[in-house]
């Protein structure tokens, strides 16, 4: 076997130009495939990260009935026993974000507006999405504050500013009347236009008092230490909770509509990648076909001199394997600095695209993904394409006619 490996390796460099051309075709194909995949995956990872931090969290614990009927009556009872149970996963959970959300009617002397009231823990919200950076006027609320903060769009609609008063009326827990007069302490500019036009923030304690829902939450957001283990953590949390009272859901379920849109986009990009693979395959096949024509006479002579067809076929196969392997590894190695650079120095969008993204409060950038699967998957696919094409010389050697080969 050592002799066959040596012979295959030496044969590669008998015609350096042909070998280098074939390696180069695999090399550049791997670079294009890896960078294309990293670009696409990086944009998705950024989008998901923004949505998770802004709204859903990676995991949510809710009351079992809340999805079917999202009302205050189906709010989660956040008991000491539940807190202790979640604390048992402290080595896997980074922090939790309790929220209480419900509708209400906000009114001033001149106008009214339906709003989403969100009771929050300002300290934990700060960890989740840099809450204080959204403040544009006034001051932040505290955990014990009875004041409120309005989204800037809603403040414009109701013509309110810090120091003014807003009246809110809604339905509290078990049909109680929720009504109160609140001072506006701050104005925030939220990232999503729809939220910016109808959101009011209160401290969690004040919201629970307003809706007569002591110790209740509509959702408990959980941020794992390792986001890649979100599903594993969600499964472990669900095992110890009574399914008749609690449900544990992940961001994949909560953002399923967004993921469906991504799947359509991925399908479109896959078509482009498949076209690239076809071009790669024809390029490599053309090189291999030329090599077979040039070496037909040589192969005929070797078989005439007593070399077994099987060994000659193995030599040809090993040559293709060496070329494919060198090209794939070199392409993956050369791609890493490019992907690494654009991961830490993302592509910055400009023009109308940047303006549209900034309207949602997101930075107009596209980072590349450093996911190791981008390198291994694309390198393996191109390697396998080259390997399969490398079987062509094996087939030709097995079926070769010595007389026809000697005439070439």
Q: What pLDDT tens digit does each residue of the chain (408 aa) get?
A: 677 778 777 777 777 887 888 788 788 878 888 888 888 788 777 877 777 877 788 899 999 888 888 888 889 989 889 889 998 888 899 999 999 999 999 998 888 999 999 999 988 888 887 788 888 999 999 888 889 999 999 999 999 999 999 999 999 888 888 999 999 999 998 877 778 889 999 999 999 999 999 889 999 999 998 888 888 999 999 888 888 889 999 888 888 877 777 777 666 677 777 787 787 777 777 777 777 777 777 777 767 767 777 777 777 777 777 887 888 888 889 999 999 998 888 888 777 777 776 666 566 788 888 888 878 887 788 778 877 877 777 777 777 666 555 555
- Phi, psi at residue 211, to the nearest 5°? -95, 10
Whether 58 is covered by a domain: the verdict is: no
Instruction: Provide the number of structural domains found in the chain.
Output: 2
Q: Are residues 206 and 274 in the same domain?
A: no
SS3 368: coil
Do 228 and 325 lie in one domain? The reply is no
Same structural domain, 79 and 219: yes
> 88 and 207 in one domain?
yes
Last residue of a domain, one of 242, 276, 302: 242
Q: How far apart are CA 271 and CA 176, in angstroms?
A: 56
Range of the domain at 313: 2-52+258-406
Residues 186 and 75 in one domain: yes
Would residue 252 count as lying in a domain? no
- End position of a domain, from candidates 211, 242, 273: 242
Pair (150, 22) in one structural domain: no
Residues 227 and 263 in one domain: no
The residues, ordered by sequence, that sit 6+ positions from 87 with a Cβ below 8 Å of its Cβ are none
Identify whether 262 is part of a domain.
Answer: yes
For the question of whether the overall pTM of this predicted structure is more than 0.75, the answer is no
Residues 300, 154 within the same domain: no
Give the distance from CA 243 to its chain's centroid. Answer: 29
Give, rounded to a whole angstrom, the gap between the first and last alpha carbons of the chain: 30
What DSSP designation does 56 have? I
- On whether the CB atoms of residues 148 and 200 are closer than 8 A, the answer is yes
Question: What's the rounded Cα separation, in Å, for the pair 276 and 210?
Answer: 60
Same structural domain, 327 and 216: no
Tell whether 247 is covered by a domain.
Answer: no
Are the C-beta atoms of residues 357 and 386 closer than 8 Å to each other? Answer: no
Whether 76 and 163 share a structural domain:
yes
167 & 295 share domain: no
- In a domain, residue 47? The reply is yes
CB-count burial class (<10 Å; 0-12, 13-18, 19+) for 154 = buried
Task: Choose one of 242, 276, 293: the last residue of a domain.
Answer: 242
Domain membership of residue 343 (yes or no) is yes
* Residue 192, both tokens: 């999503």
Q: Residue 186's beta-bridge partner residues?
A: 138, 149
**Burial, 149: exposed, middle or buried (Cβ in 10 Å; 0-12, 13-18, 19+)?**
buried
Domain membership flag for residue 251: no
Does 253 fall in a domain? no
Same domain, 205 and 73: yes
């Amino acid at each position: 076997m050592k002799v066959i490996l040596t012979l295959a390796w030496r044969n590669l460099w008998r015609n350096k130009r042909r070998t280098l051309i074939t390696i180069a075709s695999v090399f550049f194909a791997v670079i294009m495939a890896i960078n294309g995949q990293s670009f696409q995956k990086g944009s998705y990872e950024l989008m998901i990260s923004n949505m998770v931090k802004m709204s859903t969290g990676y995991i949510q614990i809710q009351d079992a009935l809340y999805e079917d009927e999202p009302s205050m009556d189906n709010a989660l009872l956040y008991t000491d026993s539940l807190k202790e149970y979640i604390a048992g996963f402290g080595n896997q959970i980074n922090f939790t974000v309790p929220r209480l959300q419900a509708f209400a009617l906000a009114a001033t002397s001149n106008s009214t507006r339906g709003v989403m009231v969100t009771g929050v823990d300002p300290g934990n919200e700060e960890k989740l999405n840099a809450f204080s950076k959204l403040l544009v006027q006034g001051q932040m609320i505290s955990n014990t504050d009875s004041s409120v903060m309005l989204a800037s769009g809603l403040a414009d609609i109701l013509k309110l500013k810090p120091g003014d008063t807003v009246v809110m009326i809604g339905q509290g827990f078990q049909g109680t009347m929720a009504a109160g007069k609140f001072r506006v302490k701050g104005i925030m500019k939220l990232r999503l236009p729809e939220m910016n036009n109808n959101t009011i923030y209160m401290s969690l304690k004040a919201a629970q008092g307003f809706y007569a829902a002591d110790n209740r939450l509509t959702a408990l957001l959980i941020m794992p230490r390792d986001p890649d283990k979100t599903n594993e953590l969600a499964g472990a949390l669900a095992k110890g909770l009574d399914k008749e009272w609690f449900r544990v859901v992940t961001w994949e379920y909560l953002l399923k509509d967004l993921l469906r849109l991504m799947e359509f986009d991925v399908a479109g990009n896959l078509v482009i990648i498949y076209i690239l693979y076809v071009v790669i395959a024809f390029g490599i096949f053309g090189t291999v076909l030329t090599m077979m024509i040039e070496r037909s006479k040589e192969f005929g002579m070797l078989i005439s001199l007593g070399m077994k067809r099987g060994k000659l076929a193995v030599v040809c196969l090993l040559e293709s394997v060496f070329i494919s392997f060198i090209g794939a590894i070199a392409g993956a190695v050369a791609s890493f600095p490019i992907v690494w650079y654009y991961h830490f120095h993302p592509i910055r969008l400009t023009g109308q695209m940047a303006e549209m993204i900034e309207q949602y409060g997101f930075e107009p950038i596209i980072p590349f993904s450093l996911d190791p699967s981008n390198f291994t998957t694309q390198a393996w696919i191109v390697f396998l394409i080259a390997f399969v094409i490398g079987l062509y010389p094996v087939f030709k050697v097995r079926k070769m006619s010595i007389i026809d080969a000697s005439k070439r």
